[in-house]
Chains A and B, each alone.
Chain A
Amino acid sequence: MSAGNLLVWVIWVATAIICVGSALAVVIFRNPLFSALALIGNLVSLAVFYLLLSAEFVAAAQVLVYAGAVMVMFLFVIAYVGWETDVAWSGGPSWQTLGGITAGAAILAELLVVIALKAGGQLSQVQDVGQAFGSPRSIGRVFVSNHLLAFEVISIVLLVAAVGGVVLGVQKRRAEQERST
């Protein structure tokens, strides 16, 4: 194994540990604040994965948009709402708990089985990509040519979400004002 390959492997394993570990942390922590912070860690590790997969623009977008804007919004809300923890899991594990764990394990198992089945065949043929693969220029070019519709639709969705957010916020304030008068 060449040195470059080894380096990539090492980075990969470390990132994978952080990724899965932070994912588990999100689900396990009682305090939503800690879960959110764990998710930020998860997002950053994912960005590393994207870089390894020659998706530079997406990695940057992930960090800026997802980890930067979305998670910050999460943290604001958690701060506002307060971090009362979940009601403790009283009594023994309920149907729901058992069922949830089973379903999750089942789906994981199934996915891994499929991947394993295909690992030797279809999944082993990786095509070569050029330097410009994943660069902002290529992405941009694709957005305004092949996937122009997707581009427009995303814009509309974002607009709707923004409007929705404002509406939700405004209504509450007006309702509060009515209540206080």
Chain B
Amino acid sequence: MLGPGIPFYLGVASALFAIGLTGVLLRRNPLIMLLSVELMLNGTNLALIAFARQHASLTGQVFALAVIAIAASEVVVGLGLVVAMARKKIDLDIDVLSRLRR
């Protein structure tokens, strides 16, 4: 294989994952939290593709496609919730939403 070896790709994937995780933990806007979750998913995807290349097995790519599909579905539902919250004029703040449960 030309270019950097698998470990490098995995390093980038780890970085994406960690950055996404930090975003989920630190940001309060649900939209940005969703974006961070997407980041994490993408990091995972990259790792999957890298491994698929390493083992010359298409299973990894199939899994990555599945992840993309699932991510899309999850975004649909999440955004639907955000829109519902916006309609009810609720603050888009995850901490406020957590307290709303009570």
The interface of chain A, by Cβ under 8 A from chain B, is 4-5, 8-9, 11-12, 16, 19-20, 23-24, 26-27, 32, 35-36, 39, 42-43, 46, 49-50, 52-55, 57-58, 61-62, 65-66, 69-70, 73-74, 77-78, 80-82, 84-87, 96-97, 99-101, 103-105, 107-108, 111-112, 115-116, 118-119, 123-129, 133-134, 138-139, 142-143, 146-147, 150, 153-154, 157-158, 160-162, 164-165, 168-169, 172, 176
Contacts and interface: CB of A to CB of B under 8 A. Distances in A.
Secondary structure at chain A's binding surface: helix, strand, loop or mixed? Answer: helix
A116 to B, nearest CB: 8
B36 A168 contact: no
A123 B6 contact: yes
A127 B56 contact: yes
B15 to A, nearest CB: 5
A173 B1 CA distance: 54
Given A49-B12, A138-B58, A39 B69 contact: no
Contacts of B11: 112, 115
B80 A127 contact: no
Interface in B1-59: 1-12, 14-23, 25-29, 31-32, 34-36, 38-39, 42, 45-46, 49-50, 52-56, 58-59
Contacts of A74: 31, 34-35, 75, 79
Contacts of A165: 76-77, 80
Nearest to B85: A81
Nearest to A59: B49
Interface of B: 1-12, 14-23, 25-29, 31-32, 34-36, 38-39, 42, 45-46, 49-50, 52-56, 58-59, 61-66, 68-77, 79-84, 86-87, 92-93
